[in-house]
Copies of this chain bind each other. A is one copy, B any other.
Amino acid sequence: MREHGGNLDLAQQRFGGRAEDWIDLSTGINRLPYPVSEVSARAWSALPSRAEIEALHQAAGHAYRTGAPIVALGGAQAAIQLLPQLVPPGRARIFAPTYNEYAGVLSAAGWEVQEVGELGALPGADLAIVVNPNNPDGRRSAPQDLLALLPRVGRLVIDESFADAVPQLSLAPQANQAGLLVLRSFGKFYGLAGLRLGFAIGHAADIGRLAAMSGPWPVSGAAIEIGCRALRDEAWAEAASARLARDCARLDEMASSQGWRLIGGTPLFRLYQTRDALAAQEKLARGQIWPRVFAQQPTWLRLGLPGGEAEWTRLAEGLAR
């Protein structure tokens, strides 16, 4: 198992409590989720029909402002798992540091993986990976700079798992080009990571192959039903984006008063430079708040946004200890 946020198991082992007692800020999952409300009996019982899956693709195209071919998958992670079957092994370059599953999955499949710190070092790769905006440091790449890479790499994967609230960064509208593949996560912005829903958007040939590899029923009936509802709800998305922007400013201010320096972030998480991230983690964990730390970067602390006033209060108390 690679190290991930959301590892509350570890928090509970070390500091006790039930999962539901903790405020898990170790992920970039929105803590004020889209309301699930009713799930129909049919969504639980029946195999999803082609028409239902097609309606989900339409809703995703609407939300992501694209007419490009789309396939629903069990999270952006499911698309990452399929990459080694989509492209024959070769040299991959990953714009790093970033989400560690890319290097892990590709290395395990026999790829030569190189992590690079500049977009300019990606050309020449058989497969280039850019997470935009990036996790964990929030680094942003301009869409035109990414498109300029396209003729210079075998395949360009843009992971837009954190792009919902910064749609101007998205290449989804231009994804219908050979060699370009855009990945979207549903669960983070909509706060429903347990649903396991994400999308790959790209050229028809790639999307057709991903669809064939993932089979006739790649996502659950609940994912289809809730996904269709949420992806069509523009008012909710606008309100969530506005609230997250306000909350980022509020969290940055609290961090600043701790002497932490903002390295970067997205509307769903913030990355701070601290004197000692493990000490900060331990202080917060005593109040059952779980931040993300990074083994390779002992000063980095990543925090998701608290989900309501009670959580903000607990965070303020945790920081004041």
Residues in chain A within 8 A of chain B (CB atoms): 1-2, 4, 6-9, 19-20, 24, 27, 29, 31, 33, 36, 39-51, 74-75, 77-78, 80-81, 85, 101, 105, 108, 187, 191-196, 212-223
Chain B nearest CB: distance from A32 CB in Å? 10
Bound form: Cα–Cα A269–B47 in Å = 16
Specify which of A2, A44, A48, A191 lies most central, judged by the most chain B CB atoms within 10 Å of its CB: A44
Would you call B9 and A46 a contact (CB within 8 A)? no
Contact indicator B46/A8 (Cβ below 8 Å): yes
Complex: A185 Cα to B8 Cα, angstroms: 29
Supposing A7-B49, A9-B50, A45-B33 touch, asked if A194 and B222 sit within 8 A by C-beta, the answer is yes
Question: Are B194's CB and A46's CB within 8 A?
Answer: yes
Additional A-B contacts beyond A9-B50, A74-B220, A75-B217 (14; CB < 8 A): A6-B47, A19-B46, A33-B45, A36-B39, A45-B194, A47-B193, A48-B194, A74-B217, A74-B218, A81-B215, A193-B217, A194-B221, A196-B217, A196-B221
Contacts A220-B196, A222-B222 given: A212-B108 contact, CB under 8 Å? yes
CA distance A19 to B45 in the complex (A): 12
With A and B bound together, what is the CA distance between A286 and B196 in angstroms?
38
B217 touches A220 (CB 8 A): no
Contact flag A194-B214 (CB < 8 Å), given A44-B36, A85-B85: no
State in angstroms the CA–CA spacing of A216 and B33 once bound together. 22
Query: Nearest residue in B to A219 (C-beta to C-beta)?
Result: B196
Tell me, in angstroms, the Cα distance from A50 to B7 when the chains sit together.
8
Are B222 and A81 in touch, CB under 8 angstroms?
no
A42/B19 in contact, CB under 8 A: yes
Pair B221/A46 contact, Cβ less than 8 Å: no
Which residue in chain B gives the minimum CB-CB distance to A108? Answer: B212
Chain B residue at smallest Cβ distance from A197: B220
Taking the closest CB of chain B, its distance from the CB of A289, in whole angstroms, is: 15
**CB pair A6 B195 closer than 8 Å:** no
- Across the interface, do A50 and B215 meet the contact criterion of CB distance under 8 Å? no
The residue from B47, B105, B212, B216 contacting A194, defined by CB atoms under 8 A apart: B47
Q: Separation in Å of the A6 CB from the closest CB of chain B?
A: 4
Interface pair A51/B220, CB less than 8 Å apart: no
**Partner among B9, B40, B77 whose Cβ is within 8 Å of the Cβ of A49:** B9
Task: Across the interface, name the chain B residue whose C-beta is closest to A73.
Answer: B74
Q: Assuming A20-B42, A215-B78, A216-B1, is B8 touching A49 (CB within 8 A)?
A: yes
A29-B47 contact in complex given A194-B220, A196-B219, C-beta closer than 8 Å: yes
Q: Determine the chain B residues whose CB is within 8 A of the CB of A81 once the complex forms.
A: 213-215
Cβ contacts under 8 Å, A7 to chain B: 49-50
Chain B residue with the shortest CB-CB distance to A27: B47
Q: Which 8 A-B pairs have the closest CB atoms?
A: A194-B221, A6-B47, A196-B220, A81-B215, A47-B193, A9-B49, A9-B51, A44-B194
